[in-house]
A and B are shown apart, each in its own frame.
Chain A
Amino acid sequence: MSAKPPRLDLGELGLDRGGHLLVKHALRGLPAGGVLEVVGRDAHLRMHLQAWARQQALESAPIPGGARLSRPETLLGRWRGAERAGASAASSPDAVREQPPARWGLAARGAMVEAGDLGFDFALDRKEVLWSERAAELYRQALAAQWDPAVAVDWKAPVELPDEVEDAVVQVMTYLIENEMAALLVPARFLARIHPHFREILQLLAVQAADEARHIEVFTRRATLKRPELGLSTQGGQASLKTLLDEPDYALAFFLLSVLGEGSFLSLLRFLHEHAPDPVTARVAELSGVDEARHVAFAMAHLKRHLAHDPHLRPRLVAAVESRFDSLREMSGLNEEVFDALVLLAAGRFEPDAVAHGHDAVLALKADMDAARRHRLEQLGFAPEEAERLSSLHTRNFM
């Protein structure tokens, strides 16, 4: 005596209202060739089961109130040869692959990916180059530290500066905006080429680009608080930034941009916070500085890891600094307009003693930048003499 086949009663539910979900679920529980009886009270159930079974290549035979379906091999055919794309939690063993295949495409890390190859092409696909164990933690920090310019800055705070000092603030803001624009474009350009397997890196770079977008907003808003137009943009300044955009190598670009450039900017933003002649300038510099510190921390973390895995990286980093120095040799470095504006901004007044104070402060800033750069280079394993030499070759444009 053969056992009675399992029976699924759909009640009032028709296949046109999602009944197929229950049928599929029941079929999945059967061995290949297993039989399932599906019954119900929907008026169209028999006809719809017949049509659906034909589309799914299931054998079907009508029975009172429904149909008898046989589960063939092909029910699982789509998932034959499928592979697990690593594991979602980066901490589990072998979760993040050294070089995930391009055929995994946009699939979430840890998803079961149907076999096939749609010709995805991700130029940046090596863990050695991209990965940092700190990325997830820094991403969470970044999210928690997001600030709303409309709330975080008191735009109505009193800003009454001498005309010359206000002009200097506008000039510094103009300079900051174009630097932040470079700092937005560099991660954004790499972001679009990274294999989605490295989810945490993509997320972090996306927030980093969004940070820069916000900095551009607040610097623009401060610049135009009292003036209808912005200040000067020089060829020398832009030439220095262009070398960052032109750098095609991920590690070298983030070394130049984040470790050396944004690292120097940390000193600059701290300087602006301390010496700002008005509360709005002080606040926007302070807020931006917190974000930039995170960007520097990420670049330091992934470069430390990369250097530990790849002995050839260190000489390439050195060569990148030297090459950038050579290409900017003909340029005048930090333009006079920005230098003078920083002096005036720190002076706060257009008086000899104040200007002298401002000048001293800017010299101290440059010394502070140099010391911080040397410190970071040493953290990356460069000998003190090499760190000193490389720091001295860094662009005089700061970024």
Chain B
Amino acid sequence: MRQTSPLVLGAVAYDAKVVTIWDGFREWFGAKDLAFDYVLFTNYERQVEAHFAGAVHVAWNSPLAWIESLRLAKARKRKPRALVMRDTDCDLTSVIVVPAKSSARELADLRGMRIGVGAQDSPQATLIPLLTLAEAGLEPGRDLEVVHHDVLLGKHGDHIGGERDAARALVRGSVDAACLLDANHLAFGRDGTFAPGSTRVLAQTPPYDHCNFTVLDGAPERALARFRELLLGMSYDDAAVRRLLDLEGLKAWKPGRTSGYAQLGRAVERFRFLEPWLASVAG
């Protein structure tokens, strides 16, 4: 029996629930006559490479994987675009937090101190807040000691573990400040990691965007258009998809935008973060 060849999505398995999410979407798309399948990767770099090699049509990319796609596209003369994103991917901020009793009153006071960050490749808990510090005149490594909490490297901080470790290090006093997603500062207060009133926010980054479905030129346009249409039509009122939306952390899909990645782009440039990877894939 001949079957329509499916639209293939790439996603990174940062948690076991990823299988539940994409199996659920696969079934839901199937019921709407969109043949759909997915491939899981252990890290975003492998996913971006596979995407450019044509192994998947659309990649569910972290913001750093989006920047990686931009950089690789420039070298290979391809055209990436952001198709769709979650409502919760828009306008995130990160915060630099100190203990309430810290002597630091402004960023400059952190000079010479230890900064707890998440995984090396986490945009929200490492790259973007370190850029904020660097642009305030505090060069990581030179003016500050950066203490990484590398949980699941290659997953770009999707796993909350690195941030939690940084928060715990702050509570223990093994770092003087910690970098966290705004929502995780709230979450760690609510779950008791931070005692009420025990922390103070020293700085908050400007807003930035998070994940997007990335597609490259030459992808099957009709199937992609249907995929986009179905995503944007998903309703939180629909019990069949609500569980999947809850797992994936959104209430509604939004058209993709690329205006929220400038800070991460600057961070990657400033810290020359992608050079080793770009060199490895260029060869």
Partner-B contacts on A (CB < 8 A) = 14-17, 43-44, 47-48, 50-52, 54-57, 73-74, 77-78, 80-81, 114-116
Contact = CB atoms under 8 A, between A and B. Distances in A.
Contacts of B182: 47-48, 50-51
Is chain B's binding surface mostly helix, strand, loop or mixed? mixed
Contacts of B252: 57, 74
Contacts, number: 77
Contact of B201 (A43, A73, A80, A81): A43
Contacts of B189: 14-17, 44, 48
Given A47-B201, A50-B93, A77-B251, 11 more contacts: A14-B196, A16-B190, A43-B200, A51-B183, A54-B87, A54-B90, A54-B91, A55-B88, A57-B236, A74-B252, A116-B239
Interface residues of B, number: 30
Contacts of B242: 77-78, 116
B236 A77 contact: yes
Contacts of B8: none
Contacts of A16: 186, 189-190, 194, 196
A60 to B, nearest CB: 9
B43 interface: no
B239 A114 contact: yes
Contacts of A55: 88, 183, 249
Interface string B216-242: 000000000000000000011101101
B237 A47 contact: no
B88 A81 contact: no
Contacts of A73: 237
A50 B88 CA distance: 11
A48 B186 contact: yes
A115 B186 contact: no
The residue among A17, A48, A114 with the most chain B CB atoms within 10 A of its own CB is A48
9 closest Cβ pairs, A-B complex: A16-B189, A57-B251, A115-B239, A51-B183, A51-B182, A77-B236, A77-B237, A116-B239, A80-B237
Nearest to A80: B237
Contacts of B186: 15-16, 44, 48, 51-52
Nearest to B251: A57
B117 interface: no
A17 B196 contact: yes
B144 interface: no
B95 interface: yes
Nearest to A47: B182
B212 to A, nearest CB: 16
A78 to B, nearest CB: 7
A383 to B, nearest CB: 53
Interface in B175-219: 181-183, 185-186, 189-190, 194, 196, 200-201, 204
